[in-house]
């Protein structure tokens, strides 16, 4: 994830929107029971944390897939493994 995007995600004053989602009552009860044990003030912040965690995992996977596809394409176009490795080293050392 890019640094600027990460900074925005960590801003506690980000704009919020209200949504409606149907969740089984027993799941809500479990969330209410688990939230304080995990240090959350209530079940809604816990739900947001779960959603954010899953979203970050998927974004990382999808962005990673794009990088792998780009590398494969560059190899097909004749870019050597040494050049690709050097470029990856430059990017990861930031």
pLDDT for 69: 83
Q: What are phi and psi of 32, to 5 degrees?
A: -65, -35
Whether the Cβ atoms of residue 35 and residue 45 lie closer than 8 Å to each other: yes
Whether the Cβ atoms of residue 43 and residue 32 lie closer than 8 Å to each other: yes
- Inter-helix orientation angle 43-76/25-37, to 10°: 90
Could you give the CA distance from residue 33 to residue 11 in angstroms, rounded to a whole number?
27
Tens of pLDDT, residue by residue over 24-81, are: 999 999 999 999 999 999 999 999 999 989 998 888 888 878 877 888 888 899 998 8
pLDDT for 59: 84
């Amino acid at each position: 994830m890019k640094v600027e995007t990460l900074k925005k995600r960590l801003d506690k004053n980000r704009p919020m929107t209200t949504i409606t989602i149907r969740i089984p009552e027993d799941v809500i009860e479990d969330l209410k029971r688990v939230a304080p044990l995990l240090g959350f003030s209530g079940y809604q912040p816990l739900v947001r944390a779960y959603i954010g965690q899953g979203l970050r995992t998927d974004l990382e996977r999808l962005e990673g897939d794009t990088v792998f596809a780009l590398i494969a394409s560059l190899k097909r176009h004749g870019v050597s493994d040494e050049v690709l490795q050097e470029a990856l080293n430059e990017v990861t050392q930031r």
